[in-house]
């Protein structure tokens, strides 16, 4: 079952998270504030962002990515998938029940 790593500007986070949960594309989303430094269009940028760790399922993953791409304010949002090889069985069952 995947955990999806997403970064977003603080102003966009509430809407993204609420949508993912309301549409049952994620069972849980953790939020971690961070300072991001990156290169964009030939310049180095430093921005406050929020790291989102969305717990989802294989079946919902594609829809989650599509929804984030639609709602995210960036032209190229950071969306990375991490597969959990060994999640606690009770947690994996909960996640499956909370997502579609």
Q: Where are the domains of the chain?
A: 2-98
What's residue 85's pLDDT?
72
Nearest residue to 47 (alpha-carbon basis) of 31, 36, 39: 36
- What CATH number labels 2-98? 3.30.70.120
Say what the pTM is.
0.89
What's residue 97's pLDDT?
84
Contact partners, residue 29, CB within 8 Å, separation at least 6 = 17, 20, 21, 52, 53, 54, 55
What is the spatial distance between Cα 80 and Cα 3, in angstroms, rounded to a whole number?
8
pLDDT in tens, 10-41: 999 999 999 999 999 999 999 999 999 999 99
pLDDT in tens, 49-87: 999 999 999 999 999 999 999 999 999 999 999 987 777
């Amino acid at each position: 079952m995947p955990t999806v790593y997403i970064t977003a500007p603080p102003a966009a986070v509430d809407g993204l998270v609420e949508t993912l949960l309301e549409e049952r594309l994620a069972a849980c989303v953790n939020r971690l504030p961070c300072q991001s430094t990156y290169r964009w269009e030939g310049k180095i940028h430093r921005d406050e962002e929020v790291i989102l760790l969305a717990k989802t399922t294989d079946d919902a993953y594609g829809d989650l990515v599509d929804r984030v791409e639609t709602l995210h304010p960036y032209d190229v949002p950071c969306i990375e998938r991490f597969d959990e090889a060994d999640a606690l069985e009770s947690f994996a069952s909960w996640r499956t029940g909370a997502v579609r």
